[in-house]
Amino acid sequence: MLEINKISAKLTFVNSIIETFQMKNSVFHLDDSAKKGFGMDVGVVDIFSKDSHWYGSVLLKVGVRIEANSPNETVADIENADFDVEMQVRGIFSAADDMPEEEFIKMLHLNGVTCVYSIARAKMEQITAAAFATGKIVLPMINILEFYKEKTAASQ
């Protein structure tokens, strides 16, 4: 077995909260064949140093829409969606301030976002399992590096 304490991130998870959650639902039974649209945005914010530590937050917003039954409606059509949910999760992290600020920010973008996305996946499953008579929303596994590549390409 690989000794992972030698490669552990020097980033400490402090806490997380769901900052906002909005849901519109008219679906009783959610099955795997339902057409789902997923979206995500992320930001690294509130970087500061205090008591020999860096602190910073990852704000992650995820959204899910389930297409209405009409063939003319799309997953992006919020007004006519059968199900629409948006959730914003904040994860707070720290690191010793002997780490350069740029490295701390890079770690938030990769390790922090990965951590907060995992938390958002779990919360979305738990909450939506209670919203339907049967079924739940499971956010897909994503490659954070590919997310940033796509986000950069979309902004150019």
Q: How far apart are CA 67 and CA 70, in angstroms?
A: 8
- CA quadruple 47, 48, 51, 52: dihedral positive or negative? positive
Please identify which residue in the block is written with the tokens 């998870």. 13
Give the pLDDT mean for 92-97.
95
> Measured on CA atoms in the order 85, 148, 43, 96, is the torsion positive or negative?
positive
- The structural domains of the chain, ordered by start, are 10-137 (3.10.420.10)
Q: Determine the pLDDT at residue 73.
A: 44
Q: How far apart are CA 54 and CA 44, in angstroms?
A: 13
pLDDT of residue 47: 95
Indicate the range of 41-45, 56-60, 103-107, 134-138 predicted with least confidence: 134-138
pLDDT at 80: 53
pTM comes to 0.86
Q: Is the pLDDT of residue 156 over 70?
A: yes
